[in-house]
A and B are shown apart, each in its own frame.
Chain A
């Protein structure tokens, strides 16, 4: 279950943030991610930010996969 989408935090006002995904913006409640900052990406679920996304971890995953794909292409 559980559709949650990555959205960028544009501004924060108290426990509400304005988040953006693909040009679409919406208010998201931030009480579940108290340390969120402007510029962070959060997972948006049912109108709430439920977690902040880790940019470095995403890049690591993608880097690892890209190297694997290259190595595979080299074998072929």
Chain B
């Protein structure tokens, strides 16, 4: 049964990933906290408030890419998962799986980058682990980070809280991370200035929470891109989301790379963007607050939440048509047809 093997597509963040989680992990490991399926688990330990807890592994190739590296990614990814439930990130662990033969200079550079990102986000790395595996068993190095944060009183942010009428806010242009890594990795001969957008978003979220208590849902559209995150939230909340093609910002070089390779920017990964579903009356204030933050300067409203068709994402196209937007299906491959 060749079907019964793990494929790369199972790690794409799209439908195959969701199927694997639902059929294999959730069926065996389910509990009410895990079942919420938000970016972080939120739970109370005692009466003094709620904790947010998350973990993530980083296996990016190449280790260094335009705009960042695996060290910065390992901090930002976990900090952002905490921020997406409205938590203030506090403590991270970092576990390194090193491949025999990795240059120590690379490891030093990655650690310095990790430290810089932690400082920028205002979090401390308080626990760690190191393992070394034989040459060939890992791709240079893998990093796993777990993070712990505190959810402020009165904050209730979840992908299941979207309400019809909410504005859909996007913090900036999409696809930069995925395209920068792809062009660097595939060595297809493209020369570009596209840089990864990898960034910690917790201070941006804090500024947004200051501006409005009515932020219903947040999500950082990483693997699987904007489309997949929107579909996740539409399903979790039992609502429809409509976005407008002409309002979704895409930098020209990213758009050009997508044209050439047959990619849809809606499915390309980001590491420093967020989607916010916000009560319509609060949207202008939230956008204003976002624009003051370095990672929200290009924040814009890209659509709205509707009641129907439940669980679906629609896109009004530039030329006046409408189409359904589904989750990423398997991996995106460069296409010629």
Contact = CB atoms under 8 A, between A and B. Distances in A.
Q: A and B, one complex? A: yes
Interface of A: 1-3, 5, 21-27, 44-47
Interface residues of B, number: 18
B337 A21 contact: no
Given A22-B257, A26-B191, 19 more contacts: A2-B336, A2-B337, A3-B262, A3-B335, A3-B336, A21-B259, A22-B252, A22-B253, A22-B259, A23-B192, A23-B193, A23-B252, A23-B256, A24-B191, A24-B256, A25-B190, A25-B191, A26-B260, A46-B336
21 contacts: A1-B337, A2-B336, A2-B337, A3-B262, A3-B335, A5-B260, A21-B259, A22-B253, A22-B255, A22-B256, A23-B192, A23-B193, A23-B253, A24-B194, A24-B256, A24-B257, A24-B260, A25-B191, A25-B192, A26-B189, A27-B189
Interface of B: 188-194, 252-253, 255-257, 259-260, 262, 335-337
A26 B256 CA distance: 12
B222 to A, nearest CB: 23
Nearest to A44: B260
A63 to B, nearest CB: 19
A76 to B, nearest CB: 15
B186 to A, nearest CB: 12
A21 B256 CA distance: 6
B59 to A, nearest CB: 26
A56 to B, nearest CB: 23
Nearest to A22: B256
B231 to A, nearest CB: 25
B149 to A, nearest CB: 38
